Each structure stands twice: as C-alpha cells, then as structure tokens.
Amino acid sequence: MRIIYTDVLVVGGGLAGLRVATGVQERGHRTIVLTLVPPKRSHSAAAQGGMQASLGNCAMGWGDNEDIHFEDTVKGSDWGADQEVVRMFVNTAPKAIRQLTQYGVPWNRVRKGKHEAIINAEKVVIEEREEAHGLITARDFGGTKKWRTCYTSDGTGHSMLYAMDNKAHEESVKIHERMEAVSIIHRHGRCYGVVARNLMTGEIIAYIAKATTIATGGYGRIYEVSTNAIICQGTGQAIALESGIATLGNMEAVQFHPTAIVPVGILTTEGCRGDGGILRDVDGYRFMPDYESEKKELASRDVVSRRMIEHIRKGKGVPSRYGDHLWLDITILGREHIEKNLREVKDICENFLGIDPAVDWIPVRPTQHYSMGGIRTKHTGESQTLKGLYACGEAACWDLHGFNRLGGNSVSETVVSGMLVAEYISDFCDSPQSHIGISTGAIEEFVRIEEEKIRRLLNNEGGEDAYVLRRAMEKIMMEKVGIFRNGKDLADAVEQLEQLHIRSKNISVFRSKSYAANPALVVAYRTQKMIKVALTVAYGALLRTESRGAHAREDYPMRDDVNWLKRTITSWPDPEQTLPTVTYEPIDIMNMELPPGWRGYGKKNIIENPDSAIQQAKIDAIRNELIKKGASRFDIQKALMPFEHLLPERYRGRNERLYERFDEPKENHE
Amino acid sequence: MNEQSPRKLTINILRYDPHVKGDKPHVDTFEIEEAPGMTLFIVLNDIREHHDASLKFDFVCRAGICGSCGMLINGRPGLACSTLTSKLPDVINLAPLPVFELIGDLSVYNGKWMRGMNERLETWIHQKEKEMRDINRIEEPMDPDLSEEIYELDRCIECGCCVAGCGTLQMNENFVGAVGLNKIARYRLDPRDEREDADYYELIGDEDGVFGCMTLLGCEDVCPKKLPLQSKIAYLRRQMVKIGLTKDIHKCDCLEHDEEY
C-alpha cells in the first residue's frame, strides 16, 4: 500500500481547485492536486459568458460597485444566499479579476468612442469614455442592474483556466492526473485525506494531508440531459456524504439554463441574450416581453427557463422528434459580431446542428446546468462538521447562490472562493490543530475497504447492470425532479431512486474484468455514488413545500418566508440507510442587510415573514440617519452588516474605480 | 442526412490494452445504425454501453471545447465529439493519436506530454519584478486590439491534433510541436510577459524548436480551432534567425520596428 503525504490535498483541477492550490503553495505549503483529467480539460473551460466583477469601466457598467453586485446576487438567490458570504464575494471579485489579468487572461477591453449595441432588440449607440480605454470591459447578463460580466469573447472559462493552470505550473504545484478520490479518510471528526484510485493502473493509494479540499464541481450528470461535461457526476459530494459526517447543503437547488441546443444539451452562452439575442416561439413571435415586461430575456435564469416551459405548455413550442423547443435568434447581432464575440457558439451550431447562427435560428430548450447545492461549509470553506475538510467552487455550498445563481457569478466564485479558502487553509496548516494524528494502521483500513469494494464489483456475477440503473436514475431526475416539480412526482422519484439505490449494492461488472484502466468498473462504482446524490436532490425537493429560485413546486407556488427561510442539510450517517437524513439550518432575517422582498422579476408569489418588514424598517432608520450625517456607502454598509473581519486580512482592501479613486493620480506619475 | 433509410456504419477500432498481459494490437469491428445528428461521441458511448464495456476512450466536454477526444478518424487527427458521422463514409476507422503514450485503445496520455511542454517552455507570464501590482488598484490598460490578438492565439485547446499531424514529431520526439510554438507566439505578443526574443531563442532557437519544423502544414490543416499555426511558426522563425545572427542576443533594436506578420 502506498501512502503519499502532503500538506494540502486538493481534489479537482478546475478553476477553484487550481486557485486553492496556488494560494496555499504561495503560502509555503506543499500541495498535490488530484484530478480525473488534465486540469486544462476541466469543465471550467466550458464557461463561455464571463465573470462578474463590479469594475464599472464600460459605459453601461458605469457607477457599478459592491453594493449593487450584492443586491443583484441576493435577489438572484431568492434570499437563500448567506449575505455575509455574498459581501465577501463581491468585495473580492474585482481583486480576483485584476489578479487574473496579471496571470495573463486577455480580457476584452473598453474601446473609447461610440459603438453600436443591441438592447431590447433595437440598435443603440453607446459612447465609451476616453479614460476607460484599454480597461476591462463587460457585457450584460441576466438579473444584473449593470453590465458587469467581464469576458474574453466567448471563451472566458477557457482563458481563465489556462492562465490558472499555467500559474500552477509556475508555482510548481504537483498535479496527479487521472487520479480519482473514492473515499475520505477521517477519524474522530477530523479529515486526513482521501483514498484515490489511479484510473490508468487501477492502483489504490492513500493521500494523507493536513487539509483536504474538494473542488470537483457540480452534479449535473445525475440528469439525463445536462450542459455539464461528462465528468460532472457529483462524486465529490458523494464521498463527502459517504463519510457519514460531512453534510451537504441545498442539494435540491438545481439550475436549468434557458438556452442549451436541442437535442444534445450543449450550451449556448447567456452572452447570446446579453449581447441582444432574443427568444422566439413556433410562430417566430418574441414572447418574453409578455411574461417579463421589464427584464424580458434577461430576467434571471430560473425565471426565463420557467417562462419558456410555460410557453411551450401553451402549445407555442416548435415540435421536433426530440420534443418541443423554442428558438434563440442571434441573427440580429450580425455576422461580424457573432464571428468575433460568439465564435464558440457559431462553431457549436455548425458542428452539432449544421446551421449558421448568423442566418438561422438556434433550437434551444432549458437544460440542467448548475448545482447550487454542494458540500456545506462555513464561510471559510471548511465543512461544518468534518474538521480539516474544505470545499469550494461549485462543489461547495458556502452559500453564495442560494436557490438561483446569476450568470457570470460561477466562474467568478471559483476564483474568489479559491483565493479566500486558500488563506483559511494556510492559516489552519500553520496552526497546531493541523497535526496529522492518524496511524498507518487506520489508513490501511480505509484503503482495504475500497479495495474490497472493487474486488466485490469485479467478482460479483449475475448482478445488476450499472448502465441500466444509471439511465433509470437520469430519466427519473429529468422527468420528476426537473424545472417544475410537484409532490406526487417527487414522491415517486424518491421511492424509485431508493429502489435503485438498494439494487445498486448488487452491481456486477460483468463485461470487463480488468483491475486497471476499466471504464466498466468506473461506471459501476460511480453509479452507486450518483444514485445517493440523486436521492439527496429528490428527497430535499420533496420535503421543501414552497417555491424558491430554481426550486419551483407547482403544488406550492409561493415562496414561503415564514416556514422555509432555511437551508436543507443532508447527511448519510449510517451506510445501511436507504434514504438520506435531512435537517434544516435557519436563515435569520434579523441578521440580513437586505431583508426578503420581491426580486424585481418573476411572479410576486411570496408568503411574507413579518420579520422582513421589521428588519427593513430598522435598516431604513440606520441608513437615513447615517445619510443625514453624510456617511459614505462603506460606513453605512458597515453599520448594517459588518463582514470585513470575516475576510483574510490581505483581501480586506477597498477596490479602486475610475469614479472611486484612492488618491490623486498625480502622485503615481511622479 | 437521410431519415428514411439509416445507413449502417462499420466502425473499425484499433484496440490494445498495455495492462493486459499478452494483448496484441488488433482491430475490432462494430456495426452501428446511424441516427440523425450522430457524432463519434454518441457512437463510441453506444459501443461501450451495448457492445464492449472495456473500450477505452476520452471525452470530457463533448462540445469541442476541452480537447480531450483527439483521435485518428480515418487516418486524420480530429476531435471525435464534434465529428458528425454524416460527414464520414460508411466505414469509419478509429485509432489513438500517435506520438503520445498509450493508456489503452483510443485513450492517450497527452496531458503528460502537454505538461512537459508547458514546463519546458515556461508557458506563463514572466515578470522581472516578482512583486505583483496592487490588486485593489485599477488594472493596467491594454489596447483592445492587442487583447483580442492575444486571445486569438490563446484559443488553443491542447488537444494534440497538431502534434499527431506533425511530420517532424514522427522523426524527432523532442520537437516542441506547433502547440508549443503557438504558446511562444502568444506570450511574445503579450506585453505582460517581459521575456525578450533572446530569451525565447534559448527555448526554441534550435532543431527541437522552431528550426525543426519542415513546413509540411499538417498542424494547421488539422487544428480544430483553425489557429494560424504555420504563419506564426514562420514569423517566429524569422525573428529567431535575426536573434541567432546577432552577436549580442540580449537586445535587438531592429525588432522594435519589425513588420507584424
């Protein structure tokens, strides 16, 4: 048995994992990244649209700041988010993007003077300031008051990931490729690393570390059709769940993206609509203004997705052999714009549909896209219940997104959370609490259990076919735990998934017996894990009898702030359980900087909590008094909900903008 | 595609599992009925799910974005995920990309090769002063055209097709390949990287670098991102020749006013 020791172990080599790794390495801790695929192949590469950061350089972003980004994000979350975490995030995002600039990301830049743009399907002329020329520009995205989404054409995730991976090379971070974490090693409520399986040789290895970080992305592949890369199978969440100690948060919060192409589910970026693209129905009619008069195609994703399905249900979908769809029309943007700023979209249309999006409309349908839920952590990224285990990025629920994530906030979160969590981990590693107190005997026991599981799968004859179970799970999730949910379907889904879970204990790998690189074996053990994750989603959705963000119950259409202003916490304490254990964590209105209200788009279906008005009155009083005294926006914010003390010291500073200069620029030029 | 009478596709796959003792490279043949919009991603998954669960291949994004699924498709390197079967003849021959270490069947360890290349060429921003600019302050401006030009070269997805399509690499395994030379062109364009041509000469000014290229154009022909690989290599070669001919290779003023490709 091989044991590899390191200071910090990072599971997952996407943007979040790499940013944690470089961060802790810079602080002097040896780091190993375990990754299924070369880091540059991670799903982060697929993020096309951009990264939200309130730089406010471009004309349509002018005046933007942390306060507006905060408000947009909290409203987008349908008040599910942890508002302190949102504050930490919006304050760090401008720093993150400026740091990435130094790592080499070729962000699109502001060009001074007039340029044409399409807003609300009409050509308008925007004039950019001379002083902003060459600074990072931004595009429009759903649910934001300002143009805040910074981008590199439509390859933002790609260029960020490459810059980040290159930085990891520079920092000599060790990357162990094609290495899959299959269980968490822990004792007495403390995590000591993982058992990993080498996907090329089949070797089982124990990785032992002071701190372990899970940054494995989302769990979209439990659904039949998903925009996610095929490696986004939720195995990071699953091994946390299987520890029996770590908990998952808000697993039922699953986002559907409005515009994935039909049938394959590949994404066309929200930038298509941000840049002026519109949605049309079977008659070629632009229907979104009828539903959302103010934000139209650019209401938040959950809202647009539901409106599309509503419209299809009215018989206005375009029939096809793969079911009804709608059209995304970007022809109005013109060929030049598409070939420059939306080239990935153009390639996808050509390669997978055989159409030219400068001429033809794109067939689209809402499709599973993002996992708001994940490993529940504190604001530091550390598991609330398993010490030494950290999570960040989409894999985690430190709760930035609540029940709906805004476009452009996810790649932003990967890097921001990576920066912050790296600091907390480094502090932990510098403290005596991080001592590794586990014997090799105990480690060996964890390895033995995993080896035994593999042996059983390979030796089991006549059992279940993993592919059959997996396809059944995907179908149940798609049909019964989708965009619109109801009690009956969800109850069916839970019951059927529970049966699949029981059957999955008897999976056979009966067509390929190799211990080494063996895709059949991989499908077998991942399917067991995925079904558990699917159960946490379906069961959480069944129990949550309200509609909030992406979680929409037809039988409970109201957002219920009286009974459901709380996070779903899921665990699996006993491996013999056939259903997860669900508890709740209250979200306290009286600590909110922005008490629950209407989001400004979508239906106004809210069961109001009386505390909301009380807290709002309190906040209004404080604000009015401070404004009278001439207080700055920073002073007011601090009085309402202080957060700076939560941030690592090096990231507490304010962000400079053209209209919020730190000092007279004269000084710098001398 | 003809929906009335679906074609029967014959898929020939070069198989070899280095982990199975005594296994010899051989071709397995599978018959698949073509479906509308079918890609090689769909074909290979169908084979694995219904015919041979041991078949090894790599996909990640399945959308032409990540570069995982490079393989030889009827002898030509390409991305399997974005290859529609409708664009191929009835018989489709699949083989792993050459040059790279074989993991098994169609799966190659190109991540290892790429990592070596990246480390060798130090494909990251080099700044003389280690201290970073204050990230609280407004960022350094960059010309909008320049940032777009850099992105044009930054679009490389390291899929390995150019490496597999390269004649030089077949003969010289130390050749850095178009992927590496494109990286150098990308960093050379980037004012944030303070390396000079003399520094780049150290990295690529030999037959393992820019002078090894035989200009067979295979790389550019097969690049799924349609990167201008050959013109970049030609341009770099001219610059490196100048540097090589200059005795003082630390700074060459003549480059300051050089024509841009």
- What pLDDT sits at residue B259? 47
Q: Is B70's Cβ below 8 Å from some Cβ in A?
A: no
Inform me whether the C-beta atom of residue A280 falls under 8 Å from chain B C-beta atoms: no
Beta strands in A157-266 (DSSP E): 174-177, 179-187, 190-198, 204-214, 248-249, 254-261
Q: For residue A142, what are the CA distances in angstroms to A49, A201, A272?
A: 11, 45, 11
Q: How far apart are CA A181 and CA A232, in angstroms?
A: 14
Active site residue A176: no
Q: How far is B63 from chain A (nearest CA, A)?
A: 6
Asked whether the beta carbons of B255 and B197 are under 8 A apart, the reply is yes
Helix, strand, or coil here: B168?
helix
- How distant is the Cα of A604 from the closest Cα of chain B, in angstroms? 38
Q: Quick one: pLDDT at residue B246?
A: 79
The stretch B224-229 carries a mean pLDDT of 94
- Cβ-Cβ contacts under 8 Å, B148 against chain A: 106, 108, 153, 340
Test mutation, A22, A41, A162, A465, chain B, max B CBs within 10 A: A41
CB contact under 8 A, A263 and B37: yes
State whether residue A231 sits within 8 Å of chain B by CB.
yes
Q: How confident is the model at residue B2 (pLDDT cuts 50, 70, 90)?
A: very low
Q: Which amino acid is at B115?
A: R
Question: pLDDT digit string (tens) for B146-203?
Answer: 999 999 999 999 999 999 999 999 999 999 999 999 999 999 999 999 999 999 999 9
User: Does the distance separating the beta carbons of A169 and B118 come in below 8 Å?
Assistant: yes
Q: What is the pLDDT of residue A201?
A: 94
pLDDT at B247: 52
- d(Cα B153, Cα B228) in Å, to the nearest integer? 8
Is residue B220 less than 8 Å (CB to CB) from chain A?
no
Does A343 qualify as catalytic in the annotation?
no
Mean pLDDT (whole number) for A307-335: 94
Residue A667 pLDDT exceeds 70: no
**B102 to chain A: which residues are within 8 Å by CB?**
none
Q: Is the pLDDT of residue A322 over 90?
A: no
Per the CB < 8 A criterion, the answer to whether B41 and B64 are in contact is: no
Q: Return the percentage of chain A with pLDDT > 90, whole number.
A: 92
Min distance A289 CA to chain B CA atoms (Å): 31
- Worst-scoring range by mean pLDDT, A339-353, A364-378, A415-429, B246-260? B246-260
Nearest to B64 among A40, A348, A654 (CB): A348
When CB atoms are compared, the residue of A202, A509, A519 closest to B56 is: A519
Question: In the beta sheet, which residues pair with residue A212?
Answer: A9, A389
Q: Do A175 and B115 touch (CB under 8 A)?
A: yes
Q: Kindly report the nearest CA distance between residue A67 and chain B, in angstroms.
A: 17
Check A69, A186, A257, A551 and give the catalytic one: A257
* Partner-chain residue, chosen from B62, B119, B139, that has the shortest CB–CB distance to A169: B119
* Interface size between A and B, measured as CB pairs under 8 A: 206
Instruction: Report the pLDDT averaged over residues A316-321.
Output: 92
Measured in angstroms, the CA of A390 and the nearest CA of chain B are apart by: 25
pLDDT at residue A586, rounded to an integer: 96
State whether B142 and A109 contact (CB < 8 Å).
Answer: yes
pLDDT digits (tens, 9 = 90+) for A70-87: 999 999 999 999 999 999
Band of residue B79 on the pLDDT scale cut at 50, 70, 90: very high
For the four alpha carbons of A61, A62, A65 and A70, in that order, the dihedral sign comes to negative
A656 interfacial to chain B (CB closer than 8 Å): yes
Nearest CA-CA partner of A69 in A84, A86, A47: A86
Q: Does B59 touch chain A (CB under 8 A)?
A: yes
Q: Between A267, A517, A657, which is nearest B56 by CB?
A: A517
Mean pLDDT of A138-145: 93
Residue A294 carries which side chain, given as an amino acid letter?
A: E
Instruction: Compute the nearest-CA separation of B198 from chain A (Å).
Output: 20
Inter-chain touch A103–B112, beta carbons under 8 Å:
no
**Chain A residues 30-59 within an 8 A CB cutoff of chain B:** 37-38, 40-43, 45-46, 55
Q: What is the reported pLDDT for B248?
A: 55
Q: Among A26, A34, A40, which would you mutate to test the B interface (most chain B Cβ atoms within 10 Å of its Cβ)?
A: A40
CB contact under 8 A, B63 and A230: no
pLDDT at A664: 61
Q: Which residues of B touch A658 (CB under 8 A)?
A: 138
The pair of three-digit structure tokens given for residue A465, joined into one six-digit string:
């076919």
What distance separates the 2 farthest-apart alpha carbons in chain A? 80
Helices A156-170, A15-26: crossing angle, 10 deg rounding: 30
Q: How far is B99 from chain A (nearest CA, A)?
A: 17
Predicted complex ipTM exceeds 0.90: yes
> Which residue among the candidates A43, A221, A273, A379 is catalytic per the annotation?
A273
B interface test, pick of A65, A109, A644 with most B CB neighbours within 10 Å: A109
Residue A624 class from Cβ within 10 Å (0-12 exposed, 13-18 middle, 19+ buried)? exposed
Give the pLDDT mean for A554-580.
Answer: 97
The pairing of strands A507-508 and A464-465 is parallel
Token representation of residue A484 = 């619109």
Q: Which of B19, B65, B122 is opposite residue A201, by nearest beta carbon?
A: B19
Question: Residues A438-461: pLDDT tens digits?
Answer: 999 999 999 999 999 999 999 999
Interface residue of B13, B39, B66, B68 to substitute, partner A, most A CBs within 10 Å? B66
Task: Find the mean pLDDT for residues B217-238.
Answer: 94
Which residues in chain A are closer than 8 Å to B151, comparing Cβ atoms? 106, 108, 152-153, 155, 159
Confidence band of A668 (pLDDT split at 50, 70, 90): very low
Average pLDDT over chain B reads: 91
- In the predicted model, is pLDDT for residue A141 greater than 60? yes
pLDDT at B260: 45
Q: What is the pLDDT of residue A665?
A: 52
Alpha-carbon distance B196 to B255, whole Å?
10
- How much is the mean pLDDT over chain A? 95
Specify the DSSP element, H or E, that contains A329.
Answer: strand A326-329
Taking residues A316-339, what's their average pLDDT? Answer: 94
Three-class SS of residue A113? Answer: strand
Task: Report the pLDDT value the prediction gives residue A223, as an integer from 0 to 100.
Answer: 96
A621 contacts: CB under 8 Å, gap ≥ 6: none
Calculate how close chain B gets to A242, using CA atoms only, in Å: 25
- Kindly provide the residue ranges of all beta strands, DSSP E only, lying in A531-626, ordered along the sequence: 552-553, 559-560, 566-571, 581-586, 606-607
Query: Between vectors from CA A237 to CA A232 and to CA A242, what angle results, nearest 5°?
Result: 135
Give the predicted TM-score (pTM) of the model: 0.95
pLDDT of A178-234, one tens digit each?
999 999 999 999 999 999 999 999 999 999 999 999 999 999 999 999 999 999 999
pLDDT for A670 equals 37
Flag whether residue B120 sits within 8 Å of chain A, measured between CB atoms: no
Say how far apart CA B181 and CA A660 lie, in whole Å.
42
End-to-end Cα distance, chain A? 62
> Using a CB-CB distance cutoff of 8 angstroms, which residues of chain B are in contact with residue A103?
124-125
